[in-house]
Every structure is written in C-alpha cells, then in structure tokens.
Amino acid sequence: MPLRTMPIRPPGPGSAWRAAALLGLISSTFSTLVSQLTAARIGRDATVDWMVVAAIPLRDAALSPEPTWPVVAAGILFHQWADVSWALVFFGLLGRWTAGLSPATLLVLCGPWALLTSFLEWVMLVPLLPFRQPIFTLAQPYWIGFLVHLASASIYPLFPSLRDWIEERRPSPHRDFAAVWAGLAAAGASGLGVLAVLGWLGWEVPHLGDEAAHDQSTLRRMIEHHAQGAQLAALAVERAEDPHLRALAALMVAAQNGEIAVMVQWWDSWFPALSSLCTPQEREAMPGMARPDEVEALRRSGGRDFDPLFVTLMSRHHAGAVRMADEALARAGDPRVRLLSHAIRHQQRGEIDLMHGSRDLAAVAAAARNLMLPFGRVPADRAPSRAQP
C-alpha cells in the first residue's frame, strides 16, 4: 500500500511577519556582534559609535566624555530596533514581492537593500524626520552605516528557511542552504572574534603597504594632535555656558580619546621598537595646534567669553586635523590608516558644522560635502559663533 504524503500547509497570513521579526532579531544581533568585533580593526571605538547612536533618541543626555554602559546598551538596542524594523518592512510590508524570493535572489538583493536603508537613515530619517538629530550624520561617515546594514542584510537569505520552520514545513527545501549560510556567518564572526582578541592582546594584523614611514608620521602626529583636542574639549565640558556646546565637547573628548586608543594599539603592534612621541619640531609644524598662551587664555576665560573663544580655537584645531587627514588619505600605505583618516576628516568637519549650529537640511548638505570632499580641499576656518541648541 503506497504511503501517503502529507499535504503542504498553505502559508498562514501572518507567517511572513513572524518570520521577518525572527529574522530581524537574528540579523540585528549578528550586525551588532560584527560591528563590535570589527570596529578597532578599521579605526573605530565601538563604544563611542554606540553612544552616537544612542544620542538619536536620547539627544544630548547620551553624550559624555567616557561612554557609559547604560548609554552603550541604549545605542545597541536602538540599532537592533532599527534593524528589526527594516526586516519587517522588507519581508512584511513588501512581502507581496519579497516573501517568496529564493535565497539566491535575496543574496543578490542584500547589497542594494543595505545601500538604500543606510542611505535613508543617514540623509533623512535621522537628521530630518522623525528624529531631527544631526550629530549622527555629521559625526559618522556614511560608509560606517552601510557596512553595519550590509552585515545585517547578509542574513536575509535565511528567511525562506525560517518561514518554512514557522509554517511547520518539514523538511524545508531551503534547509541545506540555510545550514551552509549560517555556518559561513558563524565562521566569519568567529574569525573576527579571533582578530579582536589578538588585537586586545597587542597583535594586530601586520602593517600593510609600502609607506610605513609615512604611516608612522601620520599616527604619531595625529595622536599628539588629538591629545590637545581632547584637552581643549575637556575645558568646554566643564566651563561652556551653552549646554549643547558642553554635550558636543563631551563627544569630542570621547571620540578623540577613543581614536587615540586605537592608534596607540596599532602603533604598539606595528612599530613596537619605535617611540610614538612627537619631536618639538613636529609639534610646532602641525596645523591647527593651539599655542600655550592660547590654551592658557581659554583656561582663564569664563562665562559668555568662553564659548566663542572655544569655538574659534576648536574650529581652527579641527581644520588642522582635516589637513593632516587629507594628506594621509593621499599618501597612507595601510588601508586602515586611510579609513581612519577619512573618518577623522568627516567627523572633525562635522563637529565644526555642529559648533556653528548646522541642522536639518543644512546638516545633510554639510555631511554630504564632508563625505565627498576631494583630497586636498580643506574649507576655510569659519567665523566664531555660539553653538545652537
């Protein structure tokens, strides 16, 4: 007597939404893990980046010279909420066209979807509506968000298998692909974890490229330049009259100290036999550095006199860092130094815009210019102005 096969259960009306929610939880967790493990390898301090993300809903209250764990957790949760939302949009709201796609088609679409969603966040959803928070767009170059979204979207090919599991379709025709793809994702995350542990132990991937001497000079000078920037910003955290300027200064302290930590880690791994200290001649030749008398004048100032003086000094200081970053972008040998330099250029130009009250469409336009500014072009220092809340 021939065996009867069980009929395939028709898809339930909510199965795509439930599978999308589950996929969103998995993909957002994966992108969070990849972001955390990759950050220092490309010149980022993950805790500062999460603090900037937390500032989207929490505003200035999230910003501090040293990112706190509750704020970092808030940034991670906000990021994961956004990733889950995008999965619900793709497979739920657009499910009529996407829920039946094959894993191979989803694999092809994950890049364009990451490009679209990260672009929408960077130019519209965060700096304009609904959040109107320009700090995220002006402080983080677009490619960081794209890489995070790409890590999340790379999990989308698992959707057909997850939907089959929710619909109790046994065995799923997508089971083998899902097992291979999940295994590759786990192996990739494990590899990044090994690199992260080795980095924390002082063993980064060796220096790449032919311009070791130039990269040594870049790191040495940028560490020194950032140290003074953090010193100036720390004064504003204590003395600035404008509360928004105090919060922005706190971000400057955290960002520059975080980048110093990454650069020192790279230096100790790449050039352990060399000193990272600048000579007095190198220090005097660095663009934008404040003279000792200017630093002392800022220390002595107070009240309404402090804010415009700080904005003037820090705008000039940041413009100097932009010049140094442009030089590194044009000549650095290691691609990680180039990535770090591009992020520094974007962030420090963005902080100049923020100190001068840039927001809404003006902030988006400024961020686009900062991102795509050709090598060698540096804007003129801006006139002093009080920060706008």
Dihedral over alpha carbons 336, 115, 29, 140 (to 10 degrees):
50
Which of 147, 133, 65, 60 minimizes the C-alpha distance to 343? 147
Instruction: State the pLDDT confidence band at 277, using cuts at 50, 70 and 90.
Output: confident
Q: Please determine, for residue 385, whether its predicted confidence score (pLDDT) is greater than 80.
A: no
Distance CA 255, CA 66 (A): 9
- Comparing 21-30, 83-92, 129-138, 284-293, the range with the smallest average pLDDT is 284-293
Percent of the chain with pLDDT over 70: 93
Which of 230, 213, 245 minimizes the C-alpha distance to 357? 245
Would you state the pLDDT for residue 152?
A: 98
Q: Please determine, for residue 282, whether its predicted confidence score (pLDDT) is greater than 90.
A: no
Instruction: State the pLDDT confidence band at 13, using cuts at 50, 70 and 90.
Output: low
Structure tokens at 254: 């955290």
Would you state the pLDDT for residue 14?
A: 84
Instruction: State the pLDDT confidence band at 275, using cuts at 50, 70 and 90.
Output: confident
- Comparing 38-52, 237-251, 268-282, the range with the smallest average pLDDT is 268-282
Question: What rounded mean pLDDT belongs to the chain?
Answer: 91
Q: Please determine, for residue 11, whether its predicted confidence score (pLDDT) is greater than 90.
A: no
Q: Give the mean pLDDT of 205-221.
A: 92
Would you state the pLDDT for residue 382?
A: 45
Task: Quote the radius of gyration of the chain (alpha carbons, Å).
Answer: 24
Instruction: State the pLDDT confidence band at 337, using cuts at 50, 70 and 90.
Output: very high
Domain ranges of the chain: 15-200, 212-372
φ, ψ dihedrals at 356, nearest 5°: -100, 15
How far is the CA of 361 from the CAs of 58, 83, 286, in angstroms? Answer: 21, 25, 33
3 state DSSP class of 69: helix
Q: Give the mean pLDDT of 28-55.
A: 97
3 state DSSP class of 15: helix
Distance CA 385, CA 355 (A): 8
Instruction: State the pLDDT confidence band at 10, using cuts at 50, 70 and 90.
Output: very low
Cis peptide preceding 130, ω within 30 of 0: yes
Q: Please determine, for residue 389, whether its predicted confidence score (pLDDT) is greater than 50.
A: no
**Alpha-carbon torsion (119, 30, 109, 84), positive or negative:** negative
pLDDT in tens, 61-120: 999 999 999 999 999 999 999 999 999 999 999 999 999 999 999 999 999 999 999 999
pLDDT in tens, 123-174: 999 999 999 999 999 999 999 999 999 999 999 999 999 999 999 888 889 9
**Percent composition of the chain: helix, strand, coil (DSSP 3-state, to 5):** 75, 0, 25
pLDDT in tens, 184-196: 999 999 999 999 9
Widest CA span of the chain, in angstroms?
A: 98
Would you state the pLDDT for residue 214?
A: 92
Cis peptide preceding 171, ω within 30 of 0: yes
Identify the CATH number of the domain defined by range 212-372: 1.20.1260.10
Would you state the pLDDT for residue 7?
A: 43
pLDDT in tens, 343-352: 999 999 999 9
| Overall pTM > 0.85 | yes
Give the DSSP H/E element, type plus range, for residue 318: helix 306-331
* Residues 362 and 127 sit within 8 Å (Cβ to Cβ): no
